């Protein structure tokens, strides 16, 4: 059957709304207001305030990614062992929160974390000292982990669920103990899921401007905040595009590393 033409509308769509817009970012990033070629907008990343924002973004997103991985892996293992047949139910439990607006959910953490908030209420009830949580980098990390944890759990869960139980049983029969089986069999087989999970968490965490606005007060600027401001309040699209190009280098880098571990796209998230 020759039905290639059915893809034609989509191909036009993809060129018009995916490829061309990205080329426009490149064009704006590499020109100045008169339209002349320049590297200035890209080099602007080396100015102290931009370096500071980029470094902070990298640090916070790395920490959140690691925390997500450490929380998600045991969770995925437990869920796989428990409800082998109820995959859709588990996916549903993670997608369900998305039906409550993500800005509201993140804002709710303000109520939980603030000085007279719920968490400090519980602490004082237990006669523990109150914590200063809101408007700190820690609160931003919490927001990132909270928002992106499902994107780490689902790919790892999918990969673990596909592992043939006989392979694990064989390892145990051949005398490997629980830890050896995990390190030599389960963990290597789950690398595609881990790789996919890491990009799915790292990229949105690195580039967010919403979570830092909502939970970091207005004092903590991430690279996403800087770019957003260039497009909305400062209206310097060329500089904003230039900084976006730098951001895309990091995004591409993490995608390349991820595809190295996940050659067949096995760890596709959903």
Partner 1 sequence: MTQKKQASERFTGFLKKFYVFLIFVFLYAPIVTLMVLSFNASKTRSKWGGFTLKWYFELFENEAILKAFSNTMIIAFLSALIATILGTAACIGIRNMKKRHQGIIMGVTNIPMLNAEIVTGISLMLLFISLGIKTGFLTVLLSHITFNIPYVILNVMPKLKQVNNSTYEAALDLGASPVYAFFKVVFPDILPGVFSGFLMAFTMSLDDFIITHFTKGAGLDTLSTKIYTEVKKGIKPEMYALSTLIFITVLILLILVNKMPDPKAKEKA
Q: With CB under 8 A as the contact rule, which of the stretches 15-23, 31-39, 165-173, 179-187 interacts with partner 1?
A: 15-23
Neighbours of 10 (CB within 10 A): 9
Decide if residue 32 touches partner 1 (CB under 8 A): no
Which tokens belong to 157? 């869960």
165 is an interface residue for partner 1 by CB under 8 A: no
Per CB under 8 A, the list member of 73, 193, 213, 262 interacting with partner 1 is 213
Cβ 149 to partner 1 shortest distance, Å: 7
Our finding on whether 261 is near partner 1 (CB under 8 A) is: no
- State the minimum distance, in angstroms, from the CB of residue 190 to partner 1: 18
Region near partner 1 per CB under 8 A, out of 46-54, 125-133, 143-151, 167-175 = 143-151
58 interacts with partner 1 by CB under 8 A = no
Distances from the Cα of 213 to the Cαs of 46, 83, 98, 100, 247, in angstroms? 23, 38, 19, 19, 19
Q: Residue 53: count other Cβ atoms within 10 Å of its Cβ.
A: 22
Task: Write the CA distances from 266 to 16, 81, 262, integer angstroms.
Answer: 29, 20, 6
Mask 181-200, x = binds partner 1 (CB under 8 A)? ------------------x-
Span near partner 1 by CB under 8 A; candidates 32-40, 59-67, 107-115, 160-168:
107-115
How many CA atoms lie less than 13 Å away from 213 in the CB half-sphere? 12
260 near partner 1, rule: CB under 8 A: no
Rounded CA separation 97/102 (Å)? 8
Please, are residues 226 and 10 in contact by the beta-carbon 8 Å criterion? no
Q: What is the largest CA-CA distance in the chain?
A: 73
- Counting residues that bind partner 1 (by CB under 8 A) gives 80
| Closer Cβ to partner 1, 15 or 51, answer by number | 15
Nearer to partner 1 by Cβ, of 38 and 87: the residue is 87
91 and 158 in contact (C-beta within 8 Å)? no
Rg for the chain (alpha carbons), in Å?
22
Choices 125-133, 168-176, 181-189, 241-249 (CB under 8 A): range interacting with partner 1: 241-249
Please tell me whether residue 36 binds partner 1 under the rule CB under 8 A.
Answer: no
């Amino acid at each position: 059957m020759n039905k290639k033409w059915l893809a034609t509308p989509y191909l036009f769509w993809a060129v018009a709304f995916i490829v061309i817009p990205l080329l426009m970012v490149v064009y704006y990033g590499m020109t100045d207001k008169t339209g002349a070629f320049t590297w200035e907008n890209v080099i602007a990343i080396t100015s102290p305030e931009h370096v500071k924002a980029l470094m902070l973004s990298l640090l916070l997103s790395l920490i959140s990614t690691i925390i997500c991985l450490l929380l998600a892996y045991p969770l995925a293992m437990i869920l796989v062992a428990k409800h082998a047949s109820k995959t859709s139910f588990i996916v549903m439990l993670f997608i369900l929160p998305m039906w409550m607006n993500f800005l509201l959910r993140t804002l709710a953490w303000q109520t939980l974390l603030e000085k007279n908030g719920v968490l400090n209420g519980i602490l004082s009830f237990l006669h523990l000292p109150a914590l200063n949580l809101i408007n700190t980098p820690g609160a931003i990390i919490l927001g990132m982990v909270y928002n992106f944890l499902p994107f780490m759990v689902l790919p790892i869960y999918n990969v673990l669920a596909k592992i043939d139980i006989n392979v694990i049983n064989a390892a145990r029969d051949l005398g490997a103990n629980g830890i050896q089986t995990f390190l030599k069999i389960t963990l290597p087989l789950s690398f595609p899921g881990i790789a996919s999970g890491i990009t799915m968490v790292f990229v949105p965490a690195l580039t967010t401007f919403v979570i830092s606005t909502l939970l970091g007060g207005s004092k903590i600027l991430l690279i996403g905040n800087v770019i957003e401001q260039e497009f909305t309040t400062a209206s310097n699209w060329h500089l904003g595009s230039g900084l976006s190009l730098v951001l895309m280098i990091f995004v591409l880098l993490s995608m390349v590393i991820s595809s190295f571990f996940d050659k067949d796209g096995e760890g596709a998230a959903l």
